[in-house]
Chain A
Amino acid sequence: MNEYISLNQIKKGEAVTAVRVSGSSSTVRRLTDMGLVENSIIECVGRSPTGDPAAYLISGAVIAIRSADAQNIKVRRRENG
């Protein structure tokens, strides 16, 4: 069984499935509006020049999320990336 990791730990090009989305209620709501819910598939597509925030592909759109917020999103690695 795969272990859960935080979204901010995944590398560029890696795809994961969201398992638990937590954080402040407004942040969670904002993420949900962007289409990030439990079971969403997320791919890290890049990092900003300073390394934080990072950009993720979520339901067809590229969304920038700060590491501090991504930390509260638990994900599971997908079998074949």
Chain B
Amino acid sequence: MGETVIALAGNPNVGKSTVFNGLTGMKQHTGNWAGKTVANASGHFKSGKRSYTLVDIPGTYSLTAHSPEEEIARNFICFDKPDGVVVVCDATCLERNMNLVLQTLEITENVVVCINLMDEAKKKGIDINLALISERLGVPVVGTHARKKKSLAALVDAIDGLPHGKEVCRTDYPREIEEAVKIIEKKIPEDCEVSRRWLALRLLDGDLSFKSEIFEREGKALNHLQIRRAVSEAKMYLDKSGIPAENVGKIIASRLVEKAHEICDGAVTGETGYYKTDRRIDKIMTGRITAFPVMLLMLAAIFWLTVKGANYPSQLLSDFLFGLQDDLSGILTKLNAPSWLHDCIVFGVYRVLAWVISVMLPPMAIFFPLFTLLEDSGFLPRIAYNLDRPFSLCNACGKQALTMCMGFGCNAVGVTGCRIIDSPRERLLAVLTNSLVPCNGKFPTLILLISIFFAGSLFSSLTSALILTAVIVMGVLATFFATKLLSETLLKGKSSSFILELPPYRRPQLAKTLVRSVFDRTLFVLGRAAAVAAPAGLVIWLAANITVGGATLLQHCSDFLDPFAKLMGLDGVILTAFILGFPANEIVLPIILMAYGAMGTLPDLGSTAEIGTALAANGWTKATAVCVILFSLMHFPCSTTLITVKKETGSLKYTLVAAILPTLMGIIACVIAAEVMRVTGFC
């Protein structure tokens, strides 16, 4: 017998992922802003009775899809026919959440309502009569506080009880609509696998994305012509009854809101709303004078902690890993490995790998959890709220601020996250400009260069953090510039609407966040970087050591690029490194250092100071560092990101734009900066 499939639905920010993790024990990262789960994630759990597959679908407010991620959610419930649906609701805002419950009940009877965040509701003086709501809905209703795993036992029992076989609550619409629904329903064959009533309702309210989907999926069972005729007949009937076709959707939706109120009326007591603490925090976070300085301050604080905290562990790791190098070398010698193989493995593969790990791991292990805390506590939607105006001036959507923030972690994730943006044009803008904010792979390089060339000594982490913040702000400004540029040229159009929920602030779970973000994100990203670094180390070592016509391959390549690179204030080696670093930004600096190094190997880079010396010996000045930072900020995205862009846009043209636009911006910025610095004598 196959596993029973249960879908986990719910509004955004109701703790759906926490329920998911609680049930499956899987470490899915939870989010506190609309659209965290951008694709279906699934996990497994067992009860005494059955074993289940739990599918976490994207958070949605309704099942009439507006955005691609909502389409994913709707299609799953509607067409993939899970054996049951758990609708997770927020106890502090139940009436609004009830809308989704009612819509789900129109599709399937096998629903369990999970009212989550009961503890928060209790704190806020909200009392919910679960039995009464269950009676009114005709389905099991369970109260949980998913952060406490114990409270999920009742939910598992309720899921075990499916199918419950009771008659469920059905939303009744005005008489005319009901009649029109009947006209269409009659023409839908009995054996249609989707609820006929629901199908009729959707055909009536003119949900276009749904129409194409339904005919594609259920094409065989449905007679197009007959149904189309029935739909126009029903619409004509409504028109005669004084309901124009374009109002139908609105009437249906309003009735659902009304019904939700009826369900909760008398069953939920206490004031729901916007609480004192939230008001206070918002006063600062979104205040006219305070908002922007506070955002910058938070950013700077995160970077300061990252820079300051990463120094020491970085040193330790590097000492340790480079110490191991001798052991590895010894083993290879003992095995009588030929010297070329020895050098290749030790100086090529191992050193680059060790370097990437010791330089990358500590800042990531600090930055990711910090950033996760920020996400989980509900600050990001406020950032989108604050930045919506500037984005709308670029004819874009404020939600782009969210995808931009995701880009700090990983641009590929940011690009996927763009699914939360409704308008296809605005979504493309967000996709194409995402790589202009530096991802985690670029931070260590930026931090290192800043601390070597600008912060004076190693200990001035504060200066480093401030300069890094300035660099990030530059990335944000570049994002605005590129967005505006695109919306005036390739992607012309007016900005559409911006409607975003600002969820209550939540105290993040410190320990869990730390563990999760280290294991899920840090190690994942590091693993990817390492997987690229090892073969890249080999290739680079070979390129730096194979001699053709009196010079190494690397030499040939960098000589070729040198004149062009000089214009940009770089040199051939640096530009070669950026090109070779296409698979992962993390390896750009190691390539540079290896290419400079004598014997074509990465020098012993125990400390920042040594790296500084190595760079200076190869002609680096402050001006070079400025240009490298600029180009690092603005150049073609890494291969993973570009593949994701191709996947999301389905267009080679836009993938090319995503690569060329930032590169051009970087080249122009570097040329101008180099020229200005040369003329003013800054170096």
Partner-A contacts on B (CB < 8 A): 61-62, 64, 66, 92-96, 99, 246, 249-250, 253-254, 257-258, 260, 272-274, 278-279, 282-283, 286-292, 381, 384-386, 388-390, 392, 398, 422, 496-504
Contacts and interface: CB of A to CB of B under 8 A. Distances in A.
B555 to A, nearest CB: 53
21 contacts: A23-B497, A26-B66, A26-B422, A26-B497, A27-B497, A29-B62, A29-B64, A32-B253, A33-B61, A34-B61, A34-B499, A35-B260, A48-B388, A50-B389, A55-B385, A55-B502, A62-B278, A63-B500, A65-B497, A66-B388, A66-B392
A14 interface: no
Contacts of B257: 32, 35, 37, 40, 59
Contacts of B422: 26, 30
Interface string A35-56: 1011010010111111111010
A43 to B, nearest CB: 8
B99 A33 contact: yes
A1 interface: no
Residue of A31, A43, A53 with highest tally of chain B CB at under 10 A: A53
Given A27-B497, A46-B286, A50-B390, A32 B292 contact: no
A31 B249 contact: no
Interface residues of A, number: 40
Residue of B272, B381, B498 with highest tally of chain A CB at under 10 A: B498
Nearest to B256: A32
B95 to A, nearest CB: 5
A64 interface: yes
A23 B496 CA distance: 11
Nearest to B252: A32
A24 interface: yes
A19 interface: no
Contacts of B502: 55, 62-64
B92 A60 contact: yes
B249 A60 contact: no
A68 to B, nearest CB: 7
Contact of B286 (A31, A38, A55): A55
A32 B254 contact: yes
Contact of B498 (A38, A47, A59, A64): A64
Given A27-B499, A48-B385, A53-B398, A62 B274 contact: yes
Contacts of A21: 250
A5 interface: no
Contacts of B278: 62
A37 B255 CA distance: 9
The 9 closest A-B pairs by CB, nearest first: A60-B272, A50-B389, A33-B61, A49-B291, A32-B253, A60-B93, A33-B62, A37-B254, A62-B502
Contacts of B96: 34-35, 58-61
A67 B375 CA distance: 26
Contacts of A58: 96
Nearest to A28: B250
B253 A29 contact: yes
B501 A24 contact: no
A34 to B, nearest CB: 6
B503 to A, nearest CB: 8
A50 B496 CA distance: 18
Given A31-B499, A32-B254, A52-B389, A60 B64 contact: no
Contacts of B500: 63-64
A4 to B, nearest CB: 18
Nearest to B258: A37
A69 B498 contact: yes
B287 A29 contact: no
A40 B64 CA distance: 21
B286 A48 contact: yes
A53 B535 CA distance: 49
Contact of A66 (B93, B254, B291, B497): B497
A37 B422 CA distance: 21
B437 to A, nearest CB: 21
Contacts of B390: 50
A57 interface: yes
A2 interface: no
A80 interface: no
A30 B254 contact: no
Contacts of A69: 497-499
A58 B99 CA distance: 14
Contacts of A61: 93, 96, 501, 503
Given A32-B250, A52-B389, A63 B92 contact: no
A25 B185 CA distance: 25
Contacts of A27: 496-497, 499
A52 B391 CA distance: 11
Contacts of B94: 60
A30 B66 contact: yes
A60 to B, nearest CB: 4
Interface in A6-29: 21, 23-29
A59 B246 CA distance: 25
Contacts of A25: 246, 249
Given A53-B388, A59-B95, A33 B274 contact: no
Contact of A49 (B274, B384, B386): B386
A66 B64 CA distance: 22
A59 B89 CA distance: 14
B588 to A, nearest CB: 37
Contacts of B249: 25, 29
Contacts of B273: 57, 60
Contacts of A63: 499-502
